[in-house]
Structure 1
Amino acid sequence: MAVILRYVDNKSQVIERFMGVQYVIETTSSKLKESIDEFLKLHDLSYSNLRGQGYDGTSNMRALVALAKKNSDIGAFFTMTNSLVNVVGCSCKRRDALRDKQQENLMKAIENDCLETGQGLNQEISLKRAGDTRWNSHYDALISLITTFSSVVDMFDMIVEDCYNDSAELDDCFAEGNTELLICLARLSPNDSFVAFDKEKLVFLAQMYPKDFTDQDRSALQDQLDIYIHFVCSDNDFSQLRGINELAKKMVDKGLHRTFAYVYLLV
């Protein structure tokens, strides 16, 4: 049970203070009153100065959580805790890995006599989220994190390593594919009277786009490329072009985007 005091200070300002969490066996009114009595005595406070009380309700829990969130440190802490639970629990693979790592660490602790054993002890525990309407869910979230902390750290090391490996593999694949694409595209350049033209590279470029070029289309492209390069190299209108953008515009101006439709599709 969380205890919050609201009081009026010497400046007539209403102040709220989170005093602490009091353990309760039951949530009946009598048990709650006993716990409150103990808590007030512990802090040298008296019921005689108490003007009202409220407890055991969703609205009260929401007020408590809202109050805790006003403290930037507490709010940031529980936000980070929930983010941690989301990262670890977002996939079955990670949850299984956490459970396996927890069992492994548990066995090591038992073998080294670092952990008490017995019936009901060392049960499997999963990470829990802190809810907005139940303060005890924040307590449960902390207990689950403390209990599994070493395993969670190991899990994050695994996640970081996996992300690094995946990123490196993706970068390698992208770099290789991107470089090949740029090399092939350069073979379309009209600069210096199409000196960079390479029929095989352009056919290979078409193979990179299987949705746009079927096997039959690529066969037709090969035939078109022979006629195309002969035509543009013998036409003075193409001799001063710079860049693929100018080539595409000139082909449209002269209607060649229809005559050499497969070549234009590459452009």
Structure 2
Amino acid sequence: MHVADTIALSLKATIESLFSKHGLSLSRIRGQGYDGDSNMQGEFNSLKSLIMKENVEAFYVHCFAHQLQLTLVAVVKNYIDIASLFNLVSNVLNVVGAYCKRWDLQRETRATKVVESLSNYKIQSGQGMNQEIGLKRARDTRWRSHYGTLLNLISLFASVINALEVVEEDGSHSG
């Protein structure tokens, strides 16, 4: 048995258990929708096909939210200002994250600022607070990742500027 088959059977068993817990059954499903992953919607041994074997009326529709996500990203990329913003953010992430030295500098700067702010009572301490955050890249299949990328860049802005200044300084001495 392939891994995908095992996953699909496990998902089906989990769904059957959840349905049973709430007094529902697979035989009453009229629609199913999820992303295009092969173990979810493939023709053979996918969750879709396993459910369809039990209930031919359980029509499958590719996940509307996933389609909307991909459409949103495609439309946004057609707006030059927005596309330019994300292109610039991507370039900044590439430059700052390209070398360990630069990344370490950014992390050290952020850690120093957190320690200073804690000692000056500008920020509070506690479990789960002031966690180290990184500069994560946006992914087209998840609009929320674009949002997360921008939030992290804003939070780390001073550290990023510091790293870019070091890059500029290194560049002016290299040639």
**TM-score after normalising by structure 2:** 0.61
Query: Aligned to 1:71, which of 63, 79, 83?
Result: 79
Q: Give 1:109 deviation, angstroms.
A: 1.6
Q: Residue 75 of structure 1 aligns to which amino acid in structure 2?
A: A
CA distance in 2: counterparts of 1:91 and 1:140, whole angstroms: 22
Higher RCO (C-alpha under 8 Å, 6+ residues apart): 2
Q: Residue 82 of structure 1 aligns to which amino acid in structure 2?
A: S
CA distance in 2: counterparts of 1:55 and 1:154, whole angstroms: 42
Aligned length: 114
Three-state SS of the structure 2 residue aligned to 1:56 is: helix
CA distance in 2: counterparts of 1:149 and 1:76, whole angstroms: 18
Q: What residue number does 1:234 align with?
A: none
**TM-score after normalising by structure 1:** 0.41
Query: Aligned to 2:126, which of 106, 115, 118?
Result: 118
- CA contact under 8 A between 1:105 and 1:151: conserved in structure 2? no
Q: What residue number does 2:157 align with?
A: 149
Q: What residue number does 2:145 align with?
A: 137
Mapping for residues 250-265 of structure 1, pairs under 5 Å: none
Q: Give 1:56 deviation, angstroms.
A: 2.5
Q: Residue 65 of structure 2 aligns to which amino acid in structure 1?
A: D
Q: What residue number does 2:91 align with?
A: 83
- CA contact under 8 A between 1:130 and 1:141: conserved in structure 2? yes
Alpha carbon RMSD of aligned pairs, Å? 1.7
Q: Residue 76 of structure 1 aligns to which amino acid in structure 2?
A: S
Deviating above 6 A after TM superposition, structure 1's stretches of 4 or more consecutive aligned residues are: none
Deviations 1:6-64 (A, max 9, x none): xxxxxxxxxxxxxxxxxxxxxxx9xxxxxxxxxxxxxxxxxxxxxxxx7431x332211
Q: Give 1:144 deviation, angstroms.
A: 0.8
Q: What residue number does 1:56 align with?
A: 65
Q: Give 1:152 deviation, angstroms.
A: 0.6
Q: Give 1:92 deviation, angstroms.
A: 1.6
CA distance in 1: counterparts of 2:137 and 2:120, whole angstroms: 31
Aligned identity (percent) is 38
CA distance in 1: counterparts of 2:72 and 2:114, whole angstroms: 35
- CA contact under 8 A between 1:62 and 1:132: conserved in structure 2? yes
Mapping for residues 102-251 of structure 1, pairs under 5 Å: 102-167=110-175
CA distance in 2: counterparts of 1:79 and 1:144, whole angstroms: 16
Q: What residue number does 1:238 align with?
A: none
Q: Give 1:116 deviation, angstroms.
A: 2.3
| Stretches of structure 2 lacking an aligned partner (at least 5 in a row) | 1-32, 34-62
Three-state SS of the structure 1 residue aligned to 2:141 is: coil
